[in-house]
Amino acid sequence: MPPEAGAPAAPGAPGAPSPRVVWITGASSGIGLATALACARRGDRLLLSSRAPGPLEEAARQCRALGAADVQVAPLDTADDDAVRRASADAVRRWGRLDVVVQNAGVAAYGRVDEVPADVLAGVLRTNVLGAALVAAEAVRTFRHQGEGTLVVVGSVLGRITVPWMGAYNASKFALRGLVRTMQQENRDVPGIRISLVAPGGVDTPIYDQSATVLGRRNRPPYPVSSPGHVAEKVLRAADRSAAWHRELDAGWANPAMKAAYGLAPGLFDLLSRPAMRALGFTRAERPDGPGNVLAPRPHEEGLRQRR
């Protein structure tokens, strides 16, 4: 019986892509989980990391069921340099190399910058900037030793524009984009190394329920909303060595328009940003203030999409 139209070829079948060794951070939820599942369907060998061991094991189970060639888990905090180095070294020992690293782990906080607790502000920057930098640095060290490899960093359209009540997240994603561009420049001397940034707009993932807040309102992804699978497709496109090299890929059809408005009409953009954010970024439902998963994981809120 022929395979379903659009379904990936089984590993080893004629025309099927050869399995890669792929390390994904933030792999137990949202975009990271969707990327892991997409790589599993392709028959890749997977190293999955996040701070939540239980959901991480469930992600590994799903990946094995979908046909991943091999799956290992490495629960870790990406801002722990020793843990990051150990995970990378263990993958190389097991499989002989690392082909692709997807740096996806991230957290968010909602509230005016002067009202968000200092430990939460620091926590967002610790995960989104320091943690991302440590994973990216370890990936590049490995790739330079191998002479090749692909690093895909999941950023955000909020690395190009800003919105109110997300100051720490905005700052972290602007920093992340600067980090990626710098590393692209620094590694031009090794043609086999590819470094890309994927910048989603609003995505239907649990990060909105997991985020810290001091606003007492439930957050939601602003329109237009992409699925985690759509962003995973962009990540895989960036990771595909047969594809043209991309510095930065948008994942969201409205991203170009938002970036243009932010740059060409900043005064009007700022005027409209508060009412737009109130209407599109929050529901009417109340939500207790707190640090969310910024300071510690919340395993019960992990998953592919936001709870309804």
Residue 296 has pLDDT above 50, yes or no: yes
pLDDT averaged over the chain?
93
Residue 193 has pLDDT above 70, yes or no: yes
Residue 53 is assigned to a structural domain of this protein: yes
Structure confidence at residue 245 as a pLDDT band (50, 70, 90)? low
Residue 3 has pLDDT above 60, yes or no: no
Residue 307 is assigned to a structural domain of this protein: no
Residue 192 is assigned to a structural domain of this protein: yes
- At 18 the pLDDT is 76
Task: Return the structure tokens found at 210.
Answer: 């997991």
Residue 10 is assigned to a structural domain of this protein: no
Residue 50 is assigned to a structural domain of this protein: yes
Residues marked as catalytic: 169
Structure confidence at residue 12 as a pLDDT band (50, 70, 90)? very low
Structure confidence at residue 199 as a pLDDT band (50, 70, 90)? very high
By C-alpha distance, which of 145, 135, 147 is closest to 183? 135
Percent residues over pLDDT 70 in the chain = 93
pLDDT in tens, 86-123: 999 999 999 999 999 999 999 999 999 999 999 999 99
- At 222 the pLDDT is 92
By C-alpha distance, which of 76, 30, 27 is closest to 51? 76
pLDDT in tens, 54-86: 999 999 999 999 999 999 999 999 999 999 999
Contact 205, 226 (CB under 8 A): no
Residue 3 is assigned to a structural domain of this protein: no
When divided into structural domains, the chain yields a total of 1
Instruction: Report the alpha-carbon distance of residue 203 to residue 224 in Å, rounded.
Output: 8
Instruction: Report the alpha-carbon distance of residue 117 to residue 302 in Å, rounded.
Output: 24
Percent residues over pLDDT 90 in the chain = 90
Residue 87 is assigned to a structural domain of this protein: yes
Mean pLDDT over 219-245 rounds to 88
Residue 246 has pLDDT above 80, yes or no: no
- At 295 the pLDDT is 98
Residue burial 99-116, b: 16+ Cβ < 10 Å; e: rest? bbbbbbbbbbbbbeeeeb
- At 247 the pLDDT is 87
pLDDT in tens, 133-180: 999 999 999 999 999 999 999 999 999 999 999 999 999 999 999 999
Structure confidence at residue 243 as a pLDDT band (50, 70, 90)? low
The domain in which residue 202 lies consists of: 21-301
- At 244 the pLDDT is 55
- At 306 the pLDDT is 87
Residue 146 is assigned to a structural domain of this protein: yes
- At 307 the pLDDT is 77
CATH number for the domain spanning 62: value is: 3.40.50.720
